[in-house]
Amino acid sequence: MKKKKQLFAGLVLMALGLGTAQADYTLNLMKGVTKVSNDIYDLHMLILWICVFIGIGVFGTMFYSIYHHRKSKGHKAAQFHENTTVEIIWTIIPTLILIGMAIPATKAMIELDDVQESDMSIKVTGHQWKWEYEYLDNGIRFFSSLDEASNKARQMDSGIDPRSVPHYLLNVDKPLVIPTKKKIRFVFTSADVIHSWWVPDLGWKKDTNPGFINESWTSVDKPGTYRGQCTELCGKDHGFMPIVVIAMDEPDYNVWVEQQKAAALAEASSADKTWSTEELVAKGQSLYETNCASCHMADGAGLAGTFPAITKSPVVTGDINAQVNLMLNGKGMMPAFGKILSAVDFAAVVTYTRNGLGNSVGDSIQPSAIQALQSATPAADKNE
């Protein structure tokens, strides 16, 4: 009953043109938090009301004519063919209406594509099934995946009520952070298939196509957290690659930038230390769940006929160097993890798969060895 009342209220609000009914139902475009999104909303409402008035005029005239000129009142249909005046009228009026709609629509399209005079640039690369962000002005680069809580809850027979997980399927481990009141240029591409980067509050979405570059821009005035999703059917886990954008005031953003640079230095130095097998296994478990479980399953059983099992796998229980080379360069549907994971994370996942998930090979590989292999990869390959 409550939902029926909300739906009825939403329909009334939409009919009255009072904007978006935000309850369990959304019946209109949202305004968003950027100038572009508000301009798009205003354009949408303008076109909507033009269509409403045209509909009222056309159907009103039609129903009036049917009712007042019906045969029972003695009216007879006029017999005529061709009327120059009528034909001129019904050609000129629609033309003027279309011109009136085209002018604001063209302005909005030009505004959407105007990436000139941007303050910073961020490269967005779609992967199955995560996003890669690279800040082209300061060198910060990281991958953003579905957060651990959502990832665990989505598994079959997890026993976790998704409603107990905050922002279920709309949260990530590493959000994209941007400064407020800055014009930010985005460049979009893909490492595998077509994805689509969409954050409703920003007012637009862009496809990420392998081998192509798309562009767009945004400027957010107020700090906040804005969520979105991939909106292109990009494979079996299409529904599990959300987007989270956090807008910060510039001083807070600058602090975040320094933190990321410090973390990158710490990550690089940690690759030089000698890790125990136990340390690598402990670190590798959560990395496996984030990067591998969607295909090979959380328990390593795989998916018959599609994704091979990790448990008792001859590759995983065999020569460690062969497994490393396979993971480093990828094969078939398996991505090249040498471009995705850091040396420490890569070594941790390899060691975990060989000593967990029902396997007990007992060996490990050090991050320094992985780092040497990654450094030997040609630069052109790294930037594909």
Question: Residues 13, 100: one domain?
Answer: yes
Q: What is the pTM of this model?
A: 0.78
| Residue spans of beta strands (DSSP E) within the chain | 120-127, 130-135, 141-144, 176-179, 184-190, 195-199, 204-208, 214-218, 224-230, 242-248
List, in sequence order, every beta strand (DSSP E) within 52-181. 120-127, 130-135, 141-144, 176-179
- CA–CA distances in Å: residue 72 to residues 76, 188, 229, 295, 298: 10, 65, 59, 71, 75
Nearest to 297 by CA among 351, 243, 343, 237: 237
Last residue of a domain, one of 252, 268, 284: 268
77 domain-assigned: no
**pLDDT digit of tens for each residue in the chain (384 aa)?**
666 666 666 666 555 554 443 444 467 888 889 999 999 999 999 999 999 999 999 999 999 988 888 888 888 877 777 888 888 988 999 999 999 999 999 999 999 889 999 999 999 999 988 999 999 998 899 999 999 899 888 887 888 898 999 999 999 999 999 999 999 999 999 988 999 999 999 999 999 999 999 999 999 999 999 999 999 998 888 999 999 999 999 999 999 999 999 988 888 788 888 888 998 999 888 888 888 887 888 888 888 878 889 999 898 889 999 999 988 888 877 888 888 888 888 889 999 999 988 888 888 889 888 888 887 765 434 444
Around Cβ 105, how many Cβ atoms within 10 Å? 14
Query: Looking at the 3D structure of the chain, how many domains does it have?
Result: 3
| DSSP H or E stretch at residue 256 | helix 250-270
Q: Do the domain assignments include residue 363? A: yes
- Which residues are within 8 A (CB) of 126 and not within 5 positions of it... i.e. 6 or more apart? 132, 188, 189, 190, 191, 192, 193, 194, 195, 197, 208, 230, 234, 241
- Contact between 126 and 231 (Cβ < 8 Å): no
Q: ∠60-61-67 over CA atoms, to 5°?
A: 90
In a domain, 231, yes or no: yes
For every residue of 295-359, DSSP letters joined together read HH-TTS--BTTTB--STT-HHHHS-HHHHHHHHHH-BTTB--GGGTS-HHHHHHHHHHHHHSTT-
Residue 257: predicted pLDDT: 95
Residue 84, pLDDT score: 86
Q: In what order do the strands lie in the sheet with 120-127?
A: 141-144, 130-135, 120-127, 184-190, 214-218
Residue 325 lies in a domain: yes
Structure tokens that stand for 171 in this block: 């949260």
Torsion 175-178-180-185 (CA) sign: negative
Compute the distance between CA of residue 71 and CA of residue 87 in angstroms, rounded to an integer: 26
139 and 245 both lie in a single domain:
yes
Domain extent, residue 202, equals 120-268
Residues 376, 312 share a domain: yes
Domain check: are 125 and 224 in the same one? yes
Both 317 and 231 in a single domain? no
Residues 45 and 217: their CA atoms lie apart, in Å, by: 23
CATH number, domain at 33?
Answer: 1.10.287
CA trace torsion 325, 330, 336, 337 (10° rounding): -60
Task: Tell me the CATH number at 358.
Answer: 1.10.760.10
The answer to whether residues 231 and 371 belong to one domain is: no
Burial of 106 (0-12, 13-18, 19+ CB in 10 A): exposed
Do 24 and 63 share a domain, yes or no?
yes
Residues 108 and 196 in one domain: no
